[in-house]
Amino acid sequence: MENLLSIEHLSKSFTLHNLEKHISAAEDVSLYLKGGEFVGITGKSGSGKSTVLKCIYRTYLPNSGHIWYQSERFGRIDLASASEQVIIELRKHEIGYVSQFLNVMPRTTARELVHNAIVEMGHDQEYAEQETVKMLEHFELDRSLWDSYPATFSGGEKLRLNIARAMVKRPRLLLLDEPTASLDQGSKLKVKQLIEQLMAQGTTMLGIFHDLEFMEDLCNREYRIQQGRFYLAEKQKTNILLN
């Protein structure tokens, strides 16, 4: 099967003009994802894990290298150099991004947040309403919260809402940037179930997790960053099982 995503020699650095500094965040990164895979990235903080994810989502502009993505709409394209219009379309329909921080519109209720995500994809109001209810129930978000502002939610509730919003779009590729950081065990378990459902749904995922056990339990393959380099790590799960 052809790779859904394949990164070739990606480098990203930041030039801070007022400090006259040049900071290298990721250097010569290459990795690939096959369709339907769940791949994890591990490494120390500051090793460039998030940078890679943000380059894929184009929140960061890569300096060099290619990010080949097999798009449903546009065929094989390089996310590193695709036009902004293409990226906007892909974000609407194909690529999702979830971090531990919920970036919400102020004065938008949980229900509206999910609803808007569906309408944005071009569905009508009625369908959006149905799907919203389904999704919020599915994520076990307490009914009393549906019509309140997410700014008042607990960390776990915010995250579930965040994933709900990403999942309702049924993205082909989902980027997970430490979504479980700062969650308690119960909430983590819920997130884990959600990820398993996404996998069953066929979503390809690339994720960063601090909780190695959590990640290794789920992922098909794992990349490690050591001294700024990416290595493909043997999957740990088989070892654990063998022992």
Partner 1 sequence: MGQISSPIMSVRQLNKQFGKGCEQCSNSDNRKLERNYCRACGTVYSCQNLSFDLYPGEVLGIVGESGSGKSTLMRSLYFDQEVTTGEAYLQPYKEGAVNLFQESSQQQKYIRNHLMGKVYQNPVLGLRMGFSSIGNIAEKMIAAGNRNVAAMEARGSELLDQVHIPVYRMKEAPKKFSGGMQQRVQIAKALSNNPPILLLDEVTTGLDLSVQANVLDLIKHLQRELKISMLLVSHDLGVIRMLADRTMVMLDGRVVEQGLTDQILEDPQHAYTQQLVHSLL
Q: Which residues bind partner 1 (CB under 8 A)?
A: 14-18, 54, 58-61, 71-75, 83-89, 105-107, 116, 119-120
Q: What is the chain's alpha carbon radius of gyration, rounded to the nearest angstrom?
A: 18
Would you state the structure tokens that stand for residue 42, as one six-digit string? 């591990």
Pairwise CA distance, residues 43 & 61, whole Å = 22
Smallest separation (angstroms) from partner 1 to the CB of 85 = 5
Read off the DSSP letter of residue 234: P
Smallest separation (angstroms) from partner 1 to the CB of 43 = 20
Q: Name which of 58 and 158 has its Cβ closer to partner 1.
A: 58
Q: Name which of 16 and 200 has its Cβ closer to partner 1.
A: 16
Tell me the residue length of the chain: 243
Pairwise CA distance, residues 206 & 22, whole Å = 28
Smallest separation (angstroms) from partner 1 to the CB of 54 = 7
From residue 187, alpha-carbon distances to 42, 78, 123, 139, 180 in Å are: 21, 36, 31, 11, 8
Smallest separation (angstroms) from partner 1 to the CB of 74 = 5
| Residue where the block lists tokens 């970036």 | 103
Q: Name which of 77 and 176 has its Cβ closer to partner 1.
A: 77
Pairing of strands 221-226, 38-42: parallel
Q: Name which of 50 and 203 has its Cβ closer to partner 1.
A: 50
Pairwise CA distance, residues 79 & 237, whole Å = 32
Smallest separation (angstroms) from partner 1 to the CB of 187 = 26
Residue 200 neighbours by CB distance under 10 Å? 9
Q: Name which of 97 and 139 has its Cβ closer to partner 1.
A: 97
Q: Name which of 55 and 174 has its Cβ closer to partner 1.
A: 55
Smallest separation (angstroms) from partner 1 to the CB of 234 = 34
